[in-house]
């Protein structure tokens, strides 16, 4: 249930999760939906939930049915393009999915309110040292600020806008549009447009940056607004979302770290939702699949990140060659962490050889 006051005793709880975001609520829902014999406390610093992001992923069996039923929209085609060419992938059997946070939050709150196995406390800035360490899972994450990293940061500001009409097909998501390199006083940024049509009069537009020195929120928002002005003389902002995602191959095990900031976010792509569901299921013993990325993936992602950090101007070529040369199902497997030797072999064959060989030999 949703508690009005903080508990003063923790003896009745098997697990205490600090952070009621995607991991904390997914863990709570798994306990409730599977009727597991556990008592869970979720501590969230926010006083209330509001729509603050969209989670996107290619449909995957590891997303439980009670969450896949919440999917707000699916896209049967995804588009990638740079200044020279465009590639459209068709994947009707593996649609690209959008799950809106407001649907996810509302569903979780309703389930928790009627649950005897999960308690949620909101508006609590918890001190980890005051909690029983053997029961603790730290699911907190810093999304609004750029955390220190020796590698790369993916950053974006997304605006959901309402317009009189737009030209984008409702079954098509532009994943990496107009791939380009933008140079400022601080760094070179690999930049692309991310566009999801939500209805005939609403769409989500993000300008995303991969960079060793991430742009400010104001700069990212300005880029997104400039992108919108290319299509529309006027628009109304419905909601805004933003994030700084560390593209880091190091895993933080401090304080039983879990969720996206424990290494569940794919360093090379920024996708995390499906992987977090795998982590939750593995931790609760719902299946025996490996929930981590493994040494091979960490190594290969590290090679990839060193290349794009050293040569941002090469990024459009790398991604366009991967999309064009790989089988669609294998490219999706790469993005969704459904990796196998065959998928890795296709990746190796598709990318420019010389810079990756140099990176491996470093």
Say which CATH number the domain at 34 has. 3.40.50.720
- Co-location of 162 and 243 in the same domain: yes
How would residue 117 be classed by pLDDT, with cut points 50, 70 and 90?
very high
- Co-location of 230 and 259 in the same domain: no
Angle (nearest 5°) at CA 76 between 70 and 80: 115
- Co-location of 162 and 197 in the same domain: yes
Angle (nearest 5°) at CA 157 between 153 and 162: 155
- Co-location of 233 and 261 in the same domain: no
Residue 65 lies in a domain: no
Structure tokens at 127: 């001190």
- Co-location of 161 and 259 in the same domain: no
Highest mean pLDDT among 151-160, 195-204, 285-294, 310-319: 195-204
- Co-location of 104 and 190 in the same domain: no
pLDDT at 162 over 90: yes
pLDDT tens for 16-61 read 999 999 999 999 999 999 999 999 999 999 999 999 999 999 999 9
Phi-psi label, residue 286: left if phi above 0, alpha if psi -120 to 50, beta otherwise: alpha
- Co-location of 122 and 239 in the same domain: no
What pLDDT shows up at residue 303? 86
Residue 10 lies in a domain: no
Residues above pLDDT 90, as percent of the chain: 65
Residue owning tokens 């998501």? 173
305-322 burial code (b ≥16 CB/10 A, e <16):
bbbbbebbebbbbbbbeb
| Domains held by the chain: number | 3
Say if residues 25 and 103 touch (Cβ distance below 8 Å): no
Highest mean pLDDT among 175-189, 217-231, 244-258: 217-231
What pLDDT shows up at residue 111? 97
Quick check: pTM over 0.85? yes
What pLDDT shows up at residue 146? 67
Residue 83 lies in a domain: no
Residue 3 lies in a domain: no
pLDDT tens for 212-236 read 888 999 999 999 999 999 999 999 9
Find residue 57's DSSP bridge partners: 97
pLDDT at 272 over 60: yes
61 secondary structure, DSSP code:
T
**CA 162, 168, 170, 175 torsion-angle sign:** negative
Residue 279 lies in a domain: yes
If one compares 283 and 184, the residue with the highest pLDDT of the two is 283
pLDDT at 176 over 90: yes
If one compares 298 and 29, the residue with the highest pLDDT of the two is 29
| Lowest mean pLDDT across 145-159, 161-175, 268-282 | 145-159
Residue 288 lies in a domain: no
- Co-location of 112 and 255 in the same domain: yes
Q: How far apart (Å, rounded) are the C-alpha atoms in residues 99 and 74?
A: 9
Residue 6 lies in a domain: no
Q: How many CB atoms lie within 10 A of CB 211?
A: 24
- Co-location of 199 and 243 in the same domain: yes
- Co-location of 302 and 168 in the same domain: no
Tally of helices (H runs) and strands (E runs) in the chain: 10, 14
CA–chain centroid gap for 101, Å, is 12
- Co-location of 187 and 326 in the same domain: no
Q: What is the mean pLDDT of the chain?
A: 90
| Lowest mean pLDDT across 33-37, 279-283, 301-305 | 301-305
What pLDDT shows up at residue 148? 63
- Co-location of 308 and 262 in the same domain: no
As a whole number, mean pLDDT of residues 71-90 equals: 95
Domain boundaries, position 208: 152-247
CA–chain centroid gap for 266, Å, is 8
| Lowest mean pLDDT across 167-176, 189-198, 298-307 | 298-307
Residue 271 lies in a domain: yes
Residues 6+ apart with CB under 8 A from 54: 72, 98, 99, 100, 101, 158, 196, 204, 241
């Amino acid at each position: 249930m949703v508690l009005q006051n903080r508990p003063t005793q923790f003896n009745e709880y098997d697990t205490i999760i600090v952070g009621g975001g995607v991991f904390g609520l997914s863990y709570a829902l798994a306990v409730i939906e599977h009727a597991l014999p556990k008592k869970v406390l979720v501590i969230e610093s926010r006083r209330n939930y509001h729509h603050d992001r969209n989670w996107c992923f290619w449909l995957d069996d590891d997303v439980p049915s009670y969450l896949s039923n919440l999917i707000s929209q699916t896209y049967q085609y995804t588009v990638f393009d740079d200044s020279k060419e465009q590639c459209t992938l068709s994947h009707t059997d593996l649609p690209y999915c959008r799950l809106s946070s407001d649907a996810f939050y509302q569903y979780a709150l309703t389930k928790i309110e009627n649950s005897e196995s999960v308690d949620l406390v909101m508006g609590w800035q918890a001190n980890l040292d005051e909690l029983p360490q053997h029961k603790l899972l730290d699911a907190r994450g810093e999304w609004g600020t750029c955390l220190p990293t020796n590698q790369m940061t993916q950053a974006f500001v997304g605006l959901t806008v309402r317009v009189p009409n737009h030209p984008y097909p409702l079954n098509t998501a532009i994943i990496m549009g107009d791939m380009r390199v933008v140079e400022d006083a601080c760094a070179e940024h690999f930049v692309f447009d991310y566009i999801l049509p939500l209805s005939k009069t609403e769409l989500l537009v993000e300008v995303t940056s991969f960079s060793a020195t991430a742009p400010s929120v104001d700069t990212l928002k300005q880029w997104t607004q400039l992108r919108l002005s290319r299509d529309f003389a006027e628009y109304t902002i419905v909601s805004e979302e933003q994030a700084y995602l560390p593209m880091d191959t190091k895993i933080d095990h401090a304080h039983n770290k879990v969720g996206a900031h424990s290494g569940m976010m794919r360093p090379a792509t920024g996708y995390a939702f499906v992987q977090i569901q795998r982590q939750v299921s593995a931790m609760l013993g719902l299946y025996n699949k490996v929930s981590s990325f493994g040494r091979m993936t960490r190594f290969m992602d590290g090679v990839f990140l060193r290349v794009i950090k050293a040569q941002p101007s090469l990024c459009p070529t790398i991604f366009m060659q991967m999309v064009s040369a790989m089988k669609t199902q294998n490219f999706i497997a790469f993005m969704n962490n459904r990796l196998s030797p065959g998928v890795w072999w296709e990746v190796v064959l598709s990318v420019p050889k010389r810079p990756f060989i140099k990176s491996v030999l470093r």
